[in-house]
Each structure stands twice: as C-alpha cells, then as structure tokens.
C-alpha cells in the first residue's frame, strides 16, 4: 500500500520524503504518532525506572507519553509558553514557545522530543528547524506532528532532520481515518509491529515469527484501499496549486477576519503570535463554545469547538474550550462575512 502511494506522481511532488521504505500508511495521524512514541518507550523499558524525561509541547503528544509513562514510571516534561511582552501573565493571548525552558529541558538528556510545526489550537508556527537541531544535539529522537503544517506549506523531512513525521489525510483534502508516518528506516525496522495480520510476516513457525521490513510490518491485514486512493486525490489537488504562493491569500483572510471580530467586545482571541498560521481561535463571554458552534452551524458556518486535543494548553489560558475558524486556499472574504453575521445572530440567541 505504501509503495502504491509513494510511486504516484502527486505524492512524489508533494512530499519529497515519501519513500516506500520509510512511510507507513494506516490510521489517522494521531494513531501513527501514538505508535511511534510508544515504540520509543518500549525500546527503553529496561531503563524505565530512571528514564530521562520526554519533552512535548501539546496534549496530543502528552497523552501518548503520560499513558506509556504511567505504565513504566518514566518521566515527561512540557515545554512552556509565554506571552511576548508579558511573560508573567497566566492569561496570555499572544503565545509563542519559550525557548529558554525548552533549552533547559534538553539539558536533561531526553530520549524523545515531540512537538508540532503548527499549533492546531492557536496557529502558532514553531521554529521546527531550530527545535529539531537542538533536540538532535541533545541526543534525542525527534517526533514531529505535521498535521496542521502539511496542508499549508511544503514539507521536506530530510531538510527538517527529524526521525519521525506524521500527518493526517483529512487535513490535506483527503478522507478521514488515514494518515502517514515517515520514519527513518533503521528506527522503523527496530520497532515491533503493533498489529498482526497478512502481508506483514515473512514466516510463521511455532517457535518464532519473522516480520517483513518496514513499512510492510506495520500494514497488517487488508489495507485502507479506498482511503489511500482518497489520500492520493487530496495530494493531487494540493500539488495542482502554487503552494509557495498559498500563504498570502490565507493570511489575507486571517487578517481580515481578525479585524472584523474586533467589533465584538465579548469575544477574546486566543493566540496572536507573530507570523502565525491562518487559524482564528477565540472564546466568547457568556456563551459556551459548543452552543456557539451549534448556532454557527445552523447559519452554514463550519467551525471547530472544544479543547482541540490541547487541554493542557486550554488550562494555560484558564478556559475549557474555544471556537476555531481555520482558513484555507478555497475560502473567501464572503465566508468571513458570513461568520461575522452568524456571530451577531448567535449573540442575540444565547444572551
């Protein structure tokens, strides 16, 4: 299955790192990230009691580590955020990664460093090249969550220098339930399979089972054929676009939306980091995010509501949930106007 996708023209143009030997197709990106992190922990099981800390930046990576570490009593640390100009404020609406605590954590010799390129909750773009380089200098294995970055910017993991890179199909205009995990060949072949089934074994005997090399050892049973075809269709669509020029219209939409919502004194934008992605996250006074999202949906405006797999981050802002409006190449200013009009209606209904 991996070979079929990686040999397609769209995949080669879109993701130059896609090599059949180093890419696993399977469940959604969260599942693939979870496995990569768990496998790293499994390999360290002999030294679990005194295992060095793992460093992560968001809830999605945190859940993986907390669950595995609870079983094996190893450690986890989170890199912290600060507000540019107001580092001591707890409610920080313009957050960026604080490089100094991360540097201090790396001095502890972590085994695994996991972070996202673009925050799906805030749109903050992390300095991925610098973070990977710093983690590698500390001797860590690096897992990068590229789910939010892959649809909006060219990706080359060889240039990035990470050990693992995961992304999701539905965020690149493909179907849900499928994603891809890139991993360095020697690491993938050292990792045990997490499922058993056809196509992933070389031989089965009473005494032992011998598995195929990666990626086949991780693609047990009947593969997600329909989803893989849809994934390739999403890649084909994106490669038909000028991806380097895609930032300008997305940022124009974000800037327009950001200006339009200033009229609402009951709305607080969460995350105004410089150079952030086209993600507008906000909370509304006196209205629960899910209630507000329901009204917006009735008005034909699709947003996400909740903690966005970032509960630790939500706690940082003293909030349980936010509304997130994400902009892509196919969105228009007219749709931003529809969002603003729907917010007016929702306010009238819910207050």
- Cβ distance 215 to 188 under 8 Å? yes
The secondary element (H helix, E strand) that includes residue 104 is helix 99-106
Q: How far apart are CA 274 and CA 102, in angstroms?
A: 19
Q: How far apart are CA 257 and CA 207, in angstroms?
A: 63
Q: How far apart are CA 320 and CA 33, in angstroms?
A: 25
Cα–Cα separations (whole angstroms), residue 350 to 4, 57, 201: 51, 34, 57
Is 173 catalytic? The answer is no
Tokens, residue 203: 């031989």
Among the listed residues 99, 134, 233, 309, the single catalytic one is 309
Q: Which of 111, 110, 120, 177 is nearest to 146 (CA)?
A: 120
Concatenating the DSSP letter of every residue in 191-240 gives SPPSS--TTSEEEE-SS-EEEPPTTGGG--SS--HHHHHHHHHHHHHHHT
- Cβ distance 312 to 294 under 8 Å? no
Q: How far apart are CA 43 and CA 77, in angstroms?
A: 19
Instruction: Just list the catalytic residues.
Output: 309
């Amino acid at each position: 299955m991996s070979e079929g996708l990686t040999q397609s023209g769209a995949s080669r143009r879109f993701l130059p790192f896609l090599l059949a030997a180093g890419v696993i197709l399977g469940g959604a990106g969260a599942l693939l990230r979870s496995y990569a992190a768990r496998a790293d922990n499994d390999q360290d099981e002999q030294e679990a009691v005194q295992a060095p800390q793992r460093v992560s930046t968001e809830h999605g990576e945190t859940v993986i580590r907390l669950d595995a570490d609870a079983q094996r009593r190893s450690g986890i640390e989170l890199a912290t955020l600060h507000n540019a100009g107001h580092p001591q404020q707890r409610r920080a609406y313009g957050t960026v990664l604080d490089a100094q605590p991360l540097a201090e954590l790396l001095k502890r010799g972590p085994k695994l460093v996991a972070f996202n390129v673009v925050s799906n909750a805030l749109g903050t773009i992390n300095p991925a090249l610098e973070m990977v380089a710093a983690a590698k200098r500390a001797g860590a294995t690096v897992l990068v969550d590229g789910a939010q970055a892959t649809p909006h910017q060219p990706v080359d993991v060889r240039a990035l220098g990470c050990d693992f890179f995961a992304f999701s199909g539905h965020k690149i205009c493909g179907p849900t339930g499928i994603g891809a995990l890139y991993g360095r060949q020697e690491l993938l072949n050292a990792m045990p399979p997490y499922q058993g089934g056809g196509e992933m074994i070389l031989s089965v005997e009473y005494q032992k089972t011998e598995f195929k090399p990666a990626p086949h050892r991780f693609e047990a049973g009947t593969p997600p054929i329909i989803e893989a075809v849809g994934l390739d269709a999403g890649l084909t669509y994106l490669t038909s676009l000028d991806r380097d020029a895609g930032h300008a219209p997305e940022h124009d939409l974000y800037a327009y939306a950001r200006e339009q919502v200033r009229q609402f004194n009951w709305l607080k934008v969460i995350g105004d980091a410089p150079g952030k992605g086209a993600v507008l996250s906000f909370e509304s006074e006196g209205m629960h995010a899910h209630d507000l999202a329901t009204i917006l949906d009735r008005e034909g405006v699709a947003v996400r509501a909740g903690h966005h797999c970032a509960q630790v981050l939500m706690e940082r802002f003293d909030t349980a949930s936010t509304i997130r409006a994400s902009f892509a190449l196919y969105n228009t200013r007219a749709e931003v106007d529809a969002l603003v009009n729907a917010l007016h209606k929702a306010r009238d209904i819910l207050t």
